[in-house]
Structure 1
Amino acid sequence: MTTSEALTVLGRSNSSNVQKVMWLLDEIGQPCVRVDVGGQFGGNKAADYLAKNPNGVVPTLIHGDAVVWESNTILRYLAHYFRADSLYPTDPVGRSWVDRWMDWQLSSLGPANRTLFQRIVRTPPEQRRQDAIEEARAQNAELFGLLDGYLERSEYLGGASFSIADIAVGPLAYRWLTLPVERPNLHHVKRWYDLLCKRDAFQKHVIEIGLS
């Protein structure tokens, strides 16, 4: 385990993956320095950055001698290092619920949500294709419908209490519920999302940043 040293997050504030990390750090009261990297700021393909994170994506966490990349791995690292057991249970079954939704976010929801976001927000209006947007919208609707079915019987993604699984999925739920697309009326997702909106760190690091 590294010594307790300053935390630096490399990544732009409008990246949903950076937002996860900043949100968690705020929740556990750990100050950090965030440096704009990626997107309009560039730098993520520079040799010195690739030496830290060979994928050339954001975020990258620097904590003393430790350099950690992959956003959900960073969440687990921080929760473990700072002993945030309420956010990442030590009980194997409880932890498995958190882990499975975090893995689902990476493998299923993340790619579909990113595609929808890019086809609307990151594509100039004259270049948008409505059929491509509709395809991505339908994929997101199906995935959030799956999530809604689970949340019918669970307060949060990891069970009865807020966890890093909610942090992993929350920024993508914000995008889905804010983008100008037709959405099914998913009562349980909305109930869960309203709980997230009551958290100051979610407001600060996700909602106030907006869609950009």
Structure 2
Amino acid sequence: MLSIWGRRTSSNVQALMWCVGELGLPHERHDAGHRYGGTDTPAFRAMNPNGTIPVLRDGDGEPLWETSAILRYLAGRYGPDAFWPAESAARARVDKWAEWAKLNVAMNFTAPIFWRVVRTAPADQDPVALSRALATLGRFLDIAEARLCGSAFLASDALTLADIQFGHVLFRYFDVAIPREDRPALRRYYDGLLERPAFREHIVVSYEELRPDGQQERP
């Protein structure tokens, strides 16, 4: 049984939970971080001295932290060969795109765009900085668009760990109030992800609780 610490509105936790869902692994998740707290307790810091989420413990094993390390652990221990190949060159091809997605897409979207649009009060959002961030992200999404024009998924014709690292930001990217260029292959790819039950369960999650106090949208 996997034990996971982290709130479901954390994008890093969402990536982990989507992976767990795709692999069909038994688990229990404990809310931690942001308004749920719990990351400054001695018990949590004994698992992760950084006080960050997610944290995973597989049975009685050593607690693991850092999302990419956790994802590779799960893929290596539980993933089928199509998801995380045993052959080194094929695995490196998946890992290459996974790292690319984390460093160039997720990191260029989450803090400079999502946090600025959703987690920052409107008066403090800095539209000039947002415009620059969108341009930076757009250059990497153009790479994804070109790649997806000839491939069903990011690294191969099957879902891999690279898609977990890339695809988990796309619900928020397509949902938040930002201008988006037309990228039909990316949209087709995202629409396909929406058909996956684990993606809908763990990624298509309301982020209203992340808005500044008093800024939550009303139904």
CA distance in 1: counterparts of 2:198 and 2:87, whole angstroms: 26
* Residue 82 (structure 2) pairs with residue 86 (structure 1): yes
Gaps of 5+ in 1: 1-5
CA deviation after TM superposition for structure 1 residue 122, in Å: 0.5
Deviations 1:150-206, CA, capped at 9 Å, x for gaps: 112221112111112111111212221111111111111111111111100101111
Identity %: 32
Aligned to 2:180: 183
* Residue 44 (structure 2) pairs with residue 49 (structure 1): yes
State the Cα RMSD in Å: 1.6
Partner secondary structure for residue 62 of structure 1: strand
Partner secondary structure for residue 207 of structure 1: coil
**C-alpha contact 2:9 2:205 (8 A) present in aligned 1:** no
**C-alpha contact 1:119 1:132 (8 A) present in aligned 2:** no
CA distance in 1: counterparts of 2:152 and 2:50, whole angstroms: 35
| Deviating 4+ runs (over 6 angstroms) | none
TM-score by length of 1: 0.90
From the superposition, tell whether residues 18 and 80 of structure 1 become closer, same or farther in structure 2 (CA, over 3 Å): same
CA distance in 1: counterparts of 2:188 and 2:87, whole angstroms: 26
- Worse overlay, 104-113 or 55-64: 104-113
TM-score by length of 2: 0.88
Partner secondary structure for residue 57 of structure 2: strand
CA deviation after TM superposition for structure 1 residue 139, in Å: 1.6
CA deviation after TM superposition for structure 1 residue 210, in Å: 4.5
- Worse overlay, 38-47 or 90-99: 38-47
Aligned to 1:201: 198
CA distance in 1: counterparts of 2:183 and 2:7, whole angstroms: 31
Gaps of 5+ in 2: 211-219
**C-alpha contact 2:102 2:166 (8 A) present in aligned 1:** no
CA deviation after TM superposition for structure 1 residue 57, in Å: 1.6
**C-alpha contact 1:97 1:157 (8 A) present in aligned 2:** no
CA distance in 2: counterparts of 1:101 and 1:44, whole angstroms: 31
Q: Which amino acid aligns with 2:174?
A: L
Q: Which amino acid aligns with 1:141?
A: G
CA deviation after TM superposition for structure 1 residue 55, in Å: 2.7
Aligned to 1:121: 118
Aligned to 1:14: 9
* Residue 143 (structure 2) pairs with residue 146 (structure 1): yes
CA distance in 2: counterparts of 1:46 and 1:140, whole angstroms: 36
CA distance in 1: counterparts of 2:206 and 2:93, whole angstroms: 29
CA distance in 1: counterparts of 2:75 and 2:118, whole angstroms: 32
CA deviation after TM superposition for structure 1 residue 66, in Å: 2.3
* Residue 82 (structure 2) pairs with residue 74 (structure 1): no
